[in-house]
Structure 1
């Protein structure tokens, strides 16, 4: 049911599901989905054949905002594609949720789910950097996800969004994307930004150089 790389596989007749526990921060989109695809306490907790269709399985897996859940269809049905617009949601007291056509520096080759969905640390404490591991809850980290800047008025949607890590510094994001506030408001759009990942910036989600004074260290 599992391999040494922390990826659990749940086979079904029409579709297989994979769960990468390194990426999971237990948002609960799977467990709260209607139906018996995912049932907490059951062994195995994921049973693809309990869903009404392979498409239902795909839709529930794609709700996972971290990329921890992926699927492989065996019915020749459509597979996951990138959202038409790249977005970064600044979660209330939580991570940066990326969605779109993502190319994330620091992702292992077998982390296939983060091709389209990812939760990246912005509190500075994750032991799975650049990915969130819920350390923001233990610190605790507080930021409601407000965004003051508006960015560029006109930006073409789509295309690859590259996310690189400045050594001991911010996330360097390049490509067309929109930043959403914690309340869901479309706040900023542009093609280039340095986003805080040390947790100390006074201009969150943007970097203001505070990582230097904070002594932040990370690849």
Structure 2
């Protein structure tokens, strides 16, 4: 595992011009990256593949505990995009097509597809994101559970 970027692991880090902090977990056939401030604790990873994603162990992501294709499938379930992957041949996650946008009852926007997200930090290409619907997030435009639009937790059915 290696850390890339700068910043802290807190979801409320207010510094707008910081590069996102990515934790990288290398496996034989797949590398999983994790951006802590984007995680909304939908738990798709730990429920989907507990042998790879185990919060009680360090490192908590162990990509070699399952086939790379299975790890990739579970990572794609992460609604926020906090988890991402690329395969050993540098193949990145393909975006959903067509792109979808779904407003949650609490106002958050769950977006999947070929995305270009613009913010004060610049532009980022994404395949999955949960965007703030109330404007109170300290991680704009992403939801960070700090505002009224993030009053509820993700239901596993809502995450997809």
TM over 0.5: yes
Does the 8 Å CA contact 2:117/2:123 hold for their aligned counterparts? Answer: no
Does the 8 Å CA contact 2:143/2:150 hold for their aligned counterparts? Answer: no
Who is 1:47 aligned against? Answer: 62
CA distance in 2, matches of 1:120, 1:19: 17
CA distance in 2, matches of 1:18, 1:107: 23
- Residue ranges of structure 1 left out of the alignment (5+ in a row): 144-182, 185-219
- Of residues 114, 119, 142 in structure 2, which corresponds to 1:131? 142
TM-aligned CA distance change 1:81 to 1:123, over 3 Å = same
Confirm whether residue 87 of structure 1 aligns to residue 88 of structure 2. Answer: no
Cα drift, residue 104 of structure 1? 1.2
CA distance in 2, matches of 1:94, 1:45: 31
TM-aligned CA distance change 1:31 to 1:142, over 3 Å = closer
TM-score normalised over the length of structure 1: 0.56
CA distance in 2, matches of 1:62, 1:92: 22
CA distance in 2, matches of 1:58, 1:45: 16
CA distance in 2, matches of 1:98, 1:23: 14
Name the SS for the 1:65 alignment partner: coil
Who is 1:153 aligned against? Answer: none
Higher Cα radius of gyration: 1
CA distance in 2, matches of 1:107, 1:50: 38
Does the 8 Å CA contact 1:55/1:77 hold for their aligned counterparts? Answer: no
Q: Which sits farther off after the overlay, 53-62 or 87-96?
A: 87-96
TM-score normalised over the length of structure 2: 0.75
Does the 8 Å CA contact 2:104/2:110 hold for their aligned counterparts? Answer: yes
Cα drift, residue 34 of structure 1? 3.5
Does the 8 Å CA contact 1:84/1:100 hold for their aligned counterparts? Answer: yes
CA distance in 2, matches of 1:69, 1:109: 20
CA distance in 2, matches of 1:43, 1:28: 17
TM-aligned CA distance change 1:29 to 1:104, over 3 Å = same
TM-aligned CA distance change 1:84 to 1:94, over 3 Å = same
Cα drift, residue 55 of structure 1? 0.4
- Residue ranges of structure 2 left out of the alignment (5+ in a row): 7-19
What CA deviation, in whole Å up to 9, does each residue of 1:48-76 have, x standing for no partner? 0011x1101111111111111111211x4
TM-aligned CA distance change 1:106 to 1:77, over 3 Å = closer
